[in-house]
Amino acid sequence: DAMVIQNPRYQVTQFGKPVTLSCSQTLNHNVMYWYQQKSSQAPKLLFHYYDKDFNNEADTPDNFQSRRPNTSFCFLDIRSPGLGDAAMYLCATSSGMRPSSYNEQFFGPGTRLTVL
């Protein structure tokens, strides 16, 4: 089955210790997104890639970086995690083939990040 995979599902890191979360997709979608979600709130978009074009949200802290080495993989790097960065991180994809305002996004299961 075509899907969005996130690893690991749970990640524990220490305050200030860099951490990388990974996402892969078998949907062959052009667009990949990273969201941050805190307890029962709506997901908050951090950034997204359309193919290799990186699109950062204006309010995403510099502490968050991303890499997309190929169509299938996308990584979220948190350079110096703070306690406030503890959250669920969601990866999503969309085909990008339809008009940009009509795009269905497909989410991975998420990575729960704990910062000690």
Partner 1 sequence: TQLLEQSPQFLSIQEGENLTVYCNSSSVFSSLQWYRQEPGEGPVLLVTVVTGGEVKKLKRLTFQFGDARKDSSLHITAAQPGDTGLYLCAGGAAGNKLTFGGGTRVLVKP
Report the interface residues with partner 1, using CB under 8 A.
4, 6, 31, 40-43, 45, 48, 50, 55, 90, 92, 94, 96, 99-110, 112
Q: Degrees (nearest 5) of the Cα angle 111, 26, 110?
A: 10
Joined together, the tokens standing for residue 94 give 């969309």
Q: How far is the CB of 64 from partner 1 (least distance, A)?
A: 17
Dist. CA 1–CA 18, nearest whole Å: 33
| Nearest by Cα to 114 from 95, 79, 89, 93 | 89
Closer of 26 and 80 to partner 1 (Cβ): 26
Closer of 50 and 73 to partner 1 (Cβ): 50
Q: How far is the CB of 74 from partner 1 (least distance, A)?
A: 14
